[in-house]
Structure 1
Amino acid sequence: MKPYGSPTIRHDVAVFDKIFGLPPINLSVICPQGCPTFNPKSSNEVGWSFETTLDVEYSHAMAPGAKIDLVIASTNFGDAINNAEQFALDNHLGVIWSMSFGAPECGFRGDNSQFLQSQRIFSEAVSQGVTLVASAGDSGAQEGCPFPSPLYPSSNPLVLAVGGTHLNVGPNGQYVSETAWNDEEDQFLLEQGVSFPYATGGAPSIFFASPSYQEGLSITPFDCAQSSITSCTVGAPFTPTTRVTSDVSYDADLDGGVFVYWSAIPTQAGFYIVGGTSAGAPQWSAALAIAYQYSHIAPGLINPYLYQLMGTPAFHDVTQGSNTLRPGQGFLSTPGYDPPTGLGSPNVGYLVVELAHLLT
C-alpha cells in the first residue's frame, strides 16, 4: 500500500534485480482511483516515490518468488488510503499488507471517521486471513508529540508494528549484535560530530486496550530533561494497560542502511543508502510470506504466534539503547520485550521454520 506510487518503479526494480542477481519481479501495479500523474516538483510526491521503490525492491529481495501487488492510493490522506485498502480487501489482493506509513495518535480524535473506517477495514481483512504489517515510526517515542505516542496504523492491535535497530556486523558481514536505532546514540555518528533527530518509534497507545498477546509485559521509561545524556533518568518499570508498539524490529539505521535504486527524477538517478522503519515493514512482510508458503496457512493476525516465540532463537533480543530523542521521553531496550525493538529482530531461517510449525 503506497500513496502516489512511482512512475519508474518497473525500470528501477529491473536495474536493482540485475545488480543484485535477483530473478524478474512478479509485480502488478494497481491504482483503484486512477494512477496519479507524478509531479517532480512536489517534495511530497518525490518522497513517496522513493518510499514506494524501497518497499517494492526489498520485499522482492527478501522473497524473490512472491507475487507483489502494489496498490496505489491517489494521495496520502486518510480517505484515499482507506479507499485503496478497501479495494485490496474487496478484490483479495494478497494475504499480507505492508504499510510503511503512519501518523502519530496524538493527532487523532477517537471518533474521527477515517480512523474508524480504517479499523473496520482492518477487522474485516484479518477475518479473511490477511496479515497487516506497518512501520512503527522514525521520530522516537514521541513522534513529534508532547508525550510518547505511537504511529497509527501500527498501534492497532491487529497490526504487526515493526520498530528499528542499528545492526553491527563483522568484517565478513556476519551478524554481531544490535542496539535500538537512535541516531543520537550512534557512536559512529557521534565520532563524526554528526547528529540526526531520528530514532525508532514505539510507545503505549492512547486509544487501544492492551491485547491478550501483550498481557503482563513490562516496559521501562527513559526520560531526558535536556539534550545531554547526563540529564536522563531511568524510570520504574511498569505494565501498561494499553497496546504498545513495537512488536518486532529490523535494521533501520541509515548507518548500515540498504541500497535502493531510484530514477523517478532522471537527473538524480542512482543508488541511495536508505534507512528507517519503512525498510523493516516490507522485509518482515516478505519473511512472513515465506513462512506462510512453508506452512500453507495464512492466519490473519500473526502477533499472538510471534509472542509465543519470545526468548527463543527466532529472535535476536535487543537489550541496549533507547528511543528517547533528547530532550524528551522514551523507553529503554531491555531483555525480553521493549517498545523500541519489540520482541527483537528476526533470525529469519529459524523464525520461518518455527512459525510454520506453530501455524500447523
Structure 2
Amino acid sequence: MRSSSGRPGQPGRAVAVLAAATLTLVGLGAAPALAAGPPRVPVDNAQPALTGASVTGTPDADDSVPVTVYLRNRDQAGLTRLIDRLSDPASANYGQYLTAAQFSARFAPTRASVAAVRDFLTDSGLTVTGVAGNSAYVEARGPVSKVQKAFSTTLKNYRQKKTTFRAASSTPTVPSALDDVVLGVSGLASVSQLMTPASTGSAPPSDAFVNAGPCSTYYGQKTATTLPSAYGKKQPYAPCGYEPDQLQGAYGITGAIDRGNNGKGVTVAITDAYASPTARADANTYATRHGQKALGARQYTEVLPSSYRYGYDDAVNGDQCGEQGWYGEQTLDIEAVHATAPGANITYVASPSCDNADFAKTLIKVVSGHLADIVTNSWGGSDESNGSDLLDQVYQAVFQQAAVTGIGFYFSSGDSGDGASGNAGTPTAQAPANSPYVTAVGGTSLAVAKNDTRIWETGWSTGRSALSADGTSWDPAPPGDYLYGAGGGTSRVYAQPKYQKGVVPRSLATRYSTRPARVVPDVSALGDPNTGMLVGQTQTFPDGTVRYGEYRIGGTSLASPLFAGIMALADQAAGRPHGFANPALYKLYGSGALYDPKPKGGLGVVRNDYVNGVDATDGTSFTLRSIDVTVGTILRTRTGYDDITGIGSPSGKAFLKKLS
C-alpha cells in the first residue's frame, strides 16, 4: 500500500501517513500439485506475505471479486535501446518520441494477446469489465467460486497483526498457452476491498494545523534573542513559510516568468489517492492571497475514478489509506506546481485507494492517454518494492512507455533519510523513485533573502533539540537527535544507469556490491519543513468549523512538484517536452545550470509550535531545528553529487537555457 511522501514538521501527524499499516506485498511460494487437465503455469500474484497471518475464514462463494490480469509488452530489448536513443541529447534521435498509437503498434500487447486473455476469463465464467487503453491489463469480475477455479487456487480471509485481508492460499496459475502473454494477476488479495467504513462517502477535511509565532517573513529576519544560543550565537526564528514570489526568486525564474516563460502550453499531471472536494477553491484562494492569478477555467482539470474505496473511519481495520492526509497532499502539489509554473495547465489524476495496484492503474491511465508531458508524484513505499515482483514489472513498463512517448515522471525520494523500512544506517532507494526511468527528487533546506534571492541551499537533514525545563539550554545539545530528512541511498535492485556513470561517486554506487548500482536522488529542491513553503487548505478546526487556513509545510512531497513546475518552464522554453530528462539533466552536472548544495554545519532555526497543533490553549513548545546534521544518519551533503541532493537544484536562467 502506498503512503504520501509525508508532511513532516506538524505535531501529531506522522511523516508517512500509512507507515504503521503498510503491508509488504510479495508472491507466495511454490504452487501445489496441479489438477489434471490442460497444462497450467504459475503466475506472479500481488498479495500480502502470509508470514504470521492466521486464517479467519473463507469468503462467501458468491462474493464478487474484481481481478486484473496484466500482459507482457513485446520486444523488451528493442524498447530499452529506443529509450536510450530518444533520451540522450547526443543522439540523432533525441526527442523524436513515439505517439501512444505508435507505441502500441511496436511494443504493447497485441490484440490477439488481449483476446486470448479475454477468452480465458470469459470461458472461466468471469465477466470482462475493462481493458487498459494501452492493453497493459484486462479487468474482470466474478464470484469467489469461479475466480478460484479460473486461477486454480483457494481464497481465504486472514488476520495479520491488526489488519484483516483476503488472499490466495496458493500460487495462482493460468493455462500454459498464456505463459508468454500474462505477467500476473492482482485482486485475488485485497485490503482496501475489505474496508468497512462506518459511513459512506469521502472523509471530512483534515484536522487543522496552525503555525505559532514568532516566525520570519524571510530567512534571518527575526532572531530568538530571548532563547539560548546555539553554535555560538542566537539563532533565527524559522521562516513562516515561503510564498511563490520568494520561491521563484530563490530558483532564479522570476525574470523568465515575467517575460511569459511561465509554463504556458505545458500540462503537469499530479497523481495522489482520493480527491479533495475543495482543492481548486483552496488553490485559488492561496494564489490570489499571495500575488498570483487564480487557476483559469481550463487550467485545472481532474480525472477521477468512477468510485473510491473509502475506509477512513473503519472500525475493523483502522484508517488504511489516510484519506484526509491525501487531501493535504493534493492541495500542496497543486499549489507548489502553480507557484513555480503559474501558466502551466494542471491535471489531477486520482487513484481510488492507496493500493499499489490501484496506483499502477492510475499511472497507466496517465500514460496510455498521454494526459501530460510531466507527471509529479509525492508518494512512495518504504522499500524498493512496489508491492510485489509483478507490480515492480508493471510500474517499470509504465515508466518505459512514458520514456519513449515523451512523458517525464518525477517522484519524491522520501522523508526518512537513511531509514527506509526502518533500517537506519543502510540507506536504500525507495520505490518508485528507485526506477532508473524516473527522476527522483531529493530535498533541501533553503535560505531566502529579503530580496527573494537564494542565500544558501543545503541538504535537508534535521536534528531536534527541545528547550530545557529551566529555559537556559537546548536539550540534547545541538545538533540534538536526528528527526527527519530527505530520503536517498543505493539501490539493491537496479544497476547503475549510463547517465550516472562518472557523476555518482563509486563509494556510493558500490555501497552494497562491487557492481555499480542506481543511486537516488537525481535532483533536489526545497523539502525542509523548517524552511518550507506556506500552503493553504480547507481544514476541520476543533470547534467543528470547516474553513480555509494556511501553514508551513515541507517534505520531498514539496520538492517534487516544485521541480516539476520548473521543468514545465524548461519545456516551454525548449518548445518541446523533455520527457525522461535524466540523461539531459546529468549532462548539466558541474555547470552553472545547477546549484550545488554545499555542507552547512552550525546552522539552525528556532520553532515555536502549539502543543495541540491549533492554538495556545495547551501552551507552546520551543525547539531548535539544526540544519544539515550528520548525527543519526549516514547520508551526507557533499560538494558535487550526494545521496541527499543528487546533482543539485535548478539555477534559474542558465538551467532553462542549457536544457533548451
What is the match of residue 198 of structure 1?
A: 484
Note closer, same or farther for the CA distance 1:49–1:355 as it changes in structure 2 (3 Å cut).
Answer: same
Q: In the TM superposition, what is the alpha-carbon distance from 1:88 to its structure 2 partner?
A: 1.2
What is the match of residue 232 of structure 1?
A: none
Q: In the TM superposition, what is the alpha-carbon distance from 1:202 to its structure 2 partner?
A: 0.9
Q: Say yes or no: does 1:354 pair with 2:658.
A: yes
Which structure has the highest helix share of the two? 1
What is the match of residue 294 of structure 2?
A: 24
- Cα distance in structure 2, aligned partners of 1:313 and 1:239: 32
Query: Which amino acid is 1:276 matched to?
Result: G
- Cα distance in structure 1, aligned partners of 2:641 and 2:631: 24
What is the match of residue 313 of structure 1?
A: 592
- Cα distance in structure 1, aligned partners of 2:434 and 2:447: 28
- Cα distance in structure 2, aligned partners of 1:216 and 1:321: 25
- Cα distance in structure 2, aligned partners of 1:218 and 1:96: 25
Aligned pairs (5 A) from 1:283-322: 283-320=562-599
Q: In the TM superposition, what is the alpha-carbon distance from 1:142 to its structure 2 partner?
A: 2.6
Q: Say yes or no: does 1:181 pair with 2:460.
A: yes
Note closer, same or farther for the CA distance 1:176–1:326 as it changes in structure 2 (3 Å cut).
Answer: closer
3-state SS of 2:560 partner: helix
What is the match of residue 94 of structure 1?
A: 372
Q: In the TM superposition, what is the alpha-carbon distance from 1:50 to its structure 2 partner?
A: 0.5
What is the match of residue 338 of structure 1?
A: 642
- Cα distance in structure 1, aligned partners of 2:506 and 2:371: 39
Note closer, same or farther for the CA distance 1:106–1:354 as it changes in structure 2 (3 Å cut).
Answer: closer
Q: Mind listing any 5+ residue stretches in structure 1 that lack a counterpart?
A: 223-235
Please tell me whether the aligned partners of residues 183 and 198 of structure 1 are also in contact (alpha carbons under 8 angstroms): yes
Query: Which amino acid is 1:91 matched to?
Result: G
What is the match of residue 552 of structure 2?
A: 273
Please tell me whether the aligned partners of residues 464 and 479 of structure 2 are also in contact (alpha carbons under 8 angstroms): no
Note closer, same or farther for the CA distance 1:118–1:325 as it changes in structure 2 (3 Å cut).
Answer: farther
What is the match of residue 245 of structure 1?
A: 520
Q: In the TM superposition, what is the alpha-carbon distance from 1:255 to its structure 2 partner?
A: 1.3
Aligned pairs (5 A) from 1:13-52: 13-25=283-295, 26-34=299-307, 44-52=322-330
Note closer, same or farther for the CA distance 1:173–1:141 as it changes in structure 2 (3 Å cut).
Answer: same
- Cα distance in structure 1, aligned partners of 2:597 and 2:650: 11
Please tell me whether the aligned partners of residues 420 and 430 of structure 2 are also in contact (alpha carbons under 8 angstroms): yes
Q: In the TM superposition, what is the alpha-carbon distance from 1:301 to its structure 2 partner?
A: 1.3
Greater relative CO, 1 or 2 (CA 8 Å, sep 6+): 1
3-state SS of 2:529 partner: coil
What is the match of residue 146 of structure 2?
A: none
Q: In the TM superposition, what is the alpha-carbon distance from 1:190 to its structure 2 partner?
A: 7.9
Please tell me whether the aligned partners of residues 33 and 73 of structure 1 are also in contact (alpha carbons under 8 angstroms): no
| Equivalent of 2:338 in 45, 60, 73 | 60
3-state SS of 1:263 partner: strand
Q: In the TM superposition, what is the alpha-carbon distance from 1:60 to its structure 2 partner?
A: 1.1
Aligned residues: 342
Q: In the TM superposition, what is the alpha-carbon distance from 1:162 to its structure 2 partner?
A: 0.6
Query: Which amino acid is 1:31 matched to?
Result: L
- Cα distance in structure 2, aligned partners of 1:195 and 1:87: 43
- Cα distance in structure 2, aligned partners of 1:38 and 1:197: 30
Please tell me whether the aligned partners of residues 445 and 528 of structure 2 are also in contact (alpha carbons under 8 angstroms): yes
Please tell me whether the aligned partners of residues 458 and 599 of structure 2 are also in contact (alpha carbons under 8 angstroms): yes
Note closer, same or farther for the CA distance 1:35–1:20 as it changes in structure 2 (3 Å cut).
Answer: farther
| Equivalent of 1:2 in 266, 272, 286 | 272
Query: Which amino acid is 1:49 matched to?
Result: Y
Query: % of aligned pairs identical?
Result: 29
| Equivalent of 1:170 in 443, 446, 449 | 449
- Cα distance in structure 2, aligned partners of 1:243 and 1:189: 38
Question: What do residues 272-323 of structure 1 show as CA deviations (whole Å, max 9, x unaligned)?
Answer: 1001111111111111111111112213210111111111111111121699
| Equivalent of 1:214 in 492, 495, 500 | 500
User: Which deviates more from structure 2 when the two are superposed, residues 20-29 or residues 266-275?
Assistant: 266-275
Please tell me whether the aligned partners of residues 104 and 151 of structure 1 are also in contact (alpha carbons under 8 angstroms): yes
- Cα distance in structure 1, aligned partners of 2:629 and 2:382: 16
Query: Which amino acid is 2:648 matched to?
Result: G
| Equivalent of 1:105 in 350, 359, 383 | 383
What is the match of residue 231 of structure 1?
A: none
Q: In the TM superposition, what is the alpha-carbon distance from 1:24 to its structure 2 partner?
A: 2.5
Q: In the TM superposition, what is the alpha-carbon distance from 1:325 to its structure 2 partner?
A: 8.3
Please tell me whether the aligned partners of residues 49 and 264 of structure 1 are also in contact (alpha carbons under 8 angstroms): no
Query: Which amino acid is 1:16 matched to?
Result: Y
- Cα distance in structure 2, aligned partners of 1:171 and 1:308: 33
Please tell me whether the aligned partners of residues 332 and 340 of structure 1 are also in contact (alpha carbons under 8 angstroms): yes
What is the match of residue 139 of structure 1?
A: 416
TM-score by length of 2: 0.48
- Cα distance in structure 2, aligned partners of 1:137 and 1:21: 30
Note closer, same or farther for the CA distance 1:9–1:296 as it changes in structure 2 (3 Å cut).
Answer: same
TM-score by length of 1: 0.85
| Equivalent of 1:254 in 517, 529, 533 | 529
Please tell me whether the aligned partners of residues 204 and 240 of structure 1 are also in contact (alpha carbons under 8 angstroms): no
Note closer, same or farther for the CA distance 1:124–1:255 as it changes in structure 2 (3 Å cut).
Answer: same
Q: Mind listing any 5+ residue stretches in structure 2 that lack a counterpart?
A: 1-270, 314-318, 467-473, 602-626
| Equivalent of 1:128 in 397, 405, 414 | 405
Q: In the TM superposition, what is the alpha-carbon distance from 1:349 to its structure 2 partner?
A: 2.6
Q: In the TM superposition, what is the alpha-carbon distance from 1:334 to its structure 2 partner?
A: 1.6
Note closer, same or farther for the CA distance 1:108–1:118 as it changes in structure 2 (3 Å cut).
Answer: closer
Please tell me whether the aligned partners of residues 274 and 327 of structure 2 are also in contact (alpha carbons under 8 angstroms): yes
Q: In the TM superposition, what is the alpha-carbon distance from 1:14 to its structure 2 partner?
A: 1.4
Please tell me whether the aligned partners of residues 596 and 640 of structure 2 are also in contact (alpha carbons under 8 angstroms): yes
Query: Which amino acid is 1:56 matched to?
Result: I
Query: Which amino acid is 1:345 matched to?
Result: S
3-state SS of 1:163 partner: strand
Q: In the TM superposition, what is the alpha-carbon distance from 1:106 to its structure 2 partner?
A: 4.9
Q: In the TM superposition, what is the alpha-carbon distance from 1:343 to its structure 2 partner?
A: 0.8
